């Protein structure tokens, strides 16, 4: 068994494995596959309280090891793990061979021990559970938070945990054009929708938190954050900030948005526009004169506009297109790109909605918008390809990386004069 050292503590898991293996002896052999996982979920609370606390403490120590290795994500359990704990370190997912290994059943016990009864039942019914997890990290004297997802992998229980930033990056460090920053400022524009888009793991939440923190330094506004789950927890400074976690504090994104109207908000942050009901609610609340920030899983500004329209019923699409054109202020589409020194840097596309862009959306001519972004530098706009070129010329990324991460391969090769 691998033994890892964290500070002065060895993560050998001898006592933890004894507790888990004693519990697993009680699982009937007839219980197989998902029935076996359900049995573990329903019965893990039969462990002694001190045993459950020891298992929870061990998970915390694994997560501390993750933080010390500068990892963004950790994977525990499931058939695919082959009994290893895996981490994503500087963008690369790899086995951590110096940490203890756990069988599928052992991992299931460790994971099941994290849940309350409602969460267990939800996981059994839906085969997936989004949740947040936090503990006090003594070494740094702060609470650390994780966004977590438990799910089934070939009838075994698996879990991903992503470390939520321990601090917020200053908005100035994200290198937006001053006019782009102005479009996001509640002081400059009191209403309107700004979208932060990108694939999973592209830093959307980090950018949103930077925007919130920016306002919290100078804007006496009421900010309501609706997310699933809540990630970074902001402390009210100049702004009053409320956090509502879907599934805990409110039943759905839609209900959170509707209820926010009765809570005297200035800024509403919607964690994700993931379904037609949420999209319609977000557009309507923006239409009432509020500033709204939200995210989408799309890789470009044009795709983001098309996705919103395509998500709703065809009979509603023209109305949604017109409403979106009226309320949309800006779109930031971003990617985290590997640098020459093995880290990650932000590449982004920025669309500012000008009268020409608004007309293109209303007339269903979104194909024209890319060239508007391409020529919109004086208004604060930039295409993903232009920003990748900037990073390449600054010698932060390689030529191959610039081409690989471009949305438009032909355009990036033209910009970089590559055949």
Q: How confident is the model at residue 45 (pLDDT cuts 50, 70, 90)?
A: very high
Taking residues 168-187, what's their average pLDDT?
94
Taking residues 221-234, what's their average pLDDT?
92
Element of type H or E holding 108: helix 104-112
In whole angstroms, what separates CA 156 from the centre of its chain? Answer: 24
Q: Is residue 347 a contact partner of residue 391, using CB atoms and an 8 Å limit?
A: yes
Taking residues 15-21, what's their average pLDDT?
95
**What are the tens digits of pLDDT across the range 334-391?**
999 999 998 899 999 999 999 999 999 999 999 999 999 999 999 999 999 999 999 9
Taking residues 306-314, what's their average pLDDT?
94
Identify the pLDDT of residue 419. Answer: 67
Q: Is the pLDDT of residue 210 over 90?
A: yes
Which of 334-352 are b and which e, b meaning 16 or more Cβ less than 10 Å from the residue's Cβ? Answer: bbbbbbeeeebbbbbbbbb
Q: Is the pLDDT of residue 311 over 80?
A: yes
Taking residues 229-233, what's their average pLDDT?
86
Q: How confident is the model at residue 274 (pLDDT cuts 50, 70, 90)?
A: confident
Taking Cα atoms as reference points, which of 231, 196, 234, 230 lies closest to residue 214? 234
**What are the tens digits of pLDDT across the range 113-158?**
999 998 999 999 999 998 889 999 988 888 899 999 999 999 999 9
Q: Is residue 41 a contact partner of residue 120, using CB atoms and an 8 Å limit?
A: yes
Q: In what order do the strands lie in the sheet with 156-163?
A: 92-95, 86-89, 71-77, 156-163, 142-153, 128-137
Identify the pLDDT of residue 1. Answer: 43
Identify the pLDDT of residue 91. Answer: 82
DSSP structure string for 195-216: EEE-STTSSHHHHHHHHHHHHH
Rounded CA-CA distance 411/417 in Å is 10
Please tell me the pTM assigned to this model.
0.80
Whose tokens are 């093995």? That residue is: 342
Q: Is the pLDDT of residue 8 over 50?
A: no
Q: Is residue 280 a contact partner of residue 228, using CB atoms and an 8 Å limit?
A: no
Residues forming beta bridges with residue 77, ordered by sequence position? 158
**What are the tens digits of pLDDT across the range 197-208?**
999 889 999 999
| Residue-averaged pLDDT of the chain | 93
Taking residues 182-194, what's their average pLDDT?
95
Q: How confident is the model at residue 4 (pLDDT cuts 50, 70, 90)?
A: low
DSSP structure string for 344-405: EEEEEEEEE--HHHHHHHHTT-GGGHHHHHHT-GGGT-B-HHHHHHHHHHTTSS-HHHHHHT
Taking residues 81-85, what's their average pLDDT?
96
Taking residues 394-408, what's their average pLDDT?
96
Cα torsion for 194, 200, 202, 206, to the nearest 10°? 60
Taking residues 397-410, what's their average pLDDT?
96
Q: How confident is the model at residue 181 (pLDDT cuts 50, 70, 90)?
A: very high
Lowest mean per-residue pLDDT among 34-48, 156-170, 384-398: 156-170
Q: How confident is the model at residue 2 (pLDDT cuts 50, 70, 90)?
A: very low
Taking Cα atoms as reference points, which of 80, 74, 77 lies closest to residue 62? 74
Whose tokens are 């956090």? That residue is: 243
Taking residues 22-39, what's their average pLDDT?
94
Which of 23-49 are b and which e, b meaning 16 or more Cβ less than 10 Å from the residue's Cβ? Answer: beeebeeeeeeeebbbbbbeebeebee
Identify the pLDDT of residue 418. Answer: 79
Whose tokens are 């017109």? That residue is: 322
Identify the pLDDT of residue 248. Answer: 82
Domains parsed from the chain with CATH numbers: 4-163 (3.30.450.90), 171-382 (3.40.50.300)
**What are the tens digits of pLDDT across the range 97-116?**
999 999 999 999 999 999 99
Identify the pLDDT of residue 32. Answer: 93
Q: Are strands 192-197 and 328-338 parallel, antiparallel or unpaired?
A: parallel
């Amino acid at each position: 068994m691998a033994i890892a050292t964290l500070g002065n503590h060895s993560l050998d898991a001898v006592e933890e494995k004894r507790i888990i293996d004693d519990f697993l002896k009680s699982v009937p052999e007839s219980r197989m596959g998902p029935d076996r996982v359900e049995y573990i979920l329903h019965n893990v609370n039969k462990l002694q309280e001190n045993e459950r606390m020891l298992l929870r403490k061990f998970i915390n120590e694994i997560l501390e090891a993750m933080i010390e290795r500068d990892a963004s994500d950790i994977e525990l359990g499931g058939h695919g793990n082959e009994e290893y704990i895996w981490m994503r370190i500087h963008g690369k997912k790899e086995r951590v061979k110096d940490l203890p290994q756990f069988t599928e059943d052992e991992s299931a016990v460790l994971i099941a021990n994290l849940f309350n009864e409602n969460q267990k039942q939800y996981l059994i019914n839906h085969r997936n559970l989004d949740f947040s997890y936090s503990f006090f990290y003594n070494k740094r004297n702060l609470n650390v938070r994780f966004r977590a997802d438990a799910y089934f992998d070939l009838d075994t229980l698996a879990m991903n945990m992503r470390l939520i930033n321990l601090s917020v990056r200053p908005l100035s460090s994200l290198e937006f054009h001053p006019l782009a920053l102005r479009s996001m400022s509640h002081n400059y524009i009191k209403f309107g929708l700004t979208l932060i888009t990108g694939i999973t793991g592209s830093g959307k939440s980090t950018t949103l938190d930077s925007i919130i923190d920016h306002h919290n330094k100078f804007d006496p506004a009421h900010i309501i954050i609706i997310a699933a789950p809540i990630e970074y927890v902001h402390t009210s400074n100049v702004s009053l900030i409320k956090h509502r976690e879907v599934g805990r504090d409110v039943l759905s994104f839609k209900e959170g948005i509707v209820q926010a109207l009765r809570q005297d908000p200035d800024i509403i942050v919607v964690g994700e526009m993931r379904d037609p009901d949420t999209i319609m609610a977000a557009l309507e609340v923006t239409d009432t004169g509020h500033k709204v920030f939200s995210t989408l899983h799309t890789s470009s500004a044009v795709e983001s506009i098309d996705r919103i329209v395509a998500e709703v019923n065809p009979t509603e699409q023209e109305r949604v297109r017109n409403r979106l054109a009226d309320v949309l202020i800006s779109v930031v589409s971003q990617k985290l790109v590997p640098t020459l020194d093995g880290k990650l840097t932000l590449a982004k596309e920025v669309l500012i909605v000008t009268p020409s862009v608004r007309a293109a959306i209303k007339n269903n001519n979104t194909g024209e918008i890319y060239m508007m972004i391409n020529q919109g530098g004086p208004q604060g706009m930039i295409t993903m390809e232009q920003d990748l070129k900037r990073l390449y010329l600054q010698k932060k990324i390689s030529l191959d990386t610039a081409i690989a991460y471009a949305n438009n391969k032909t355009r990036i090769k033209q910009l970089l004069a590559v055949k």
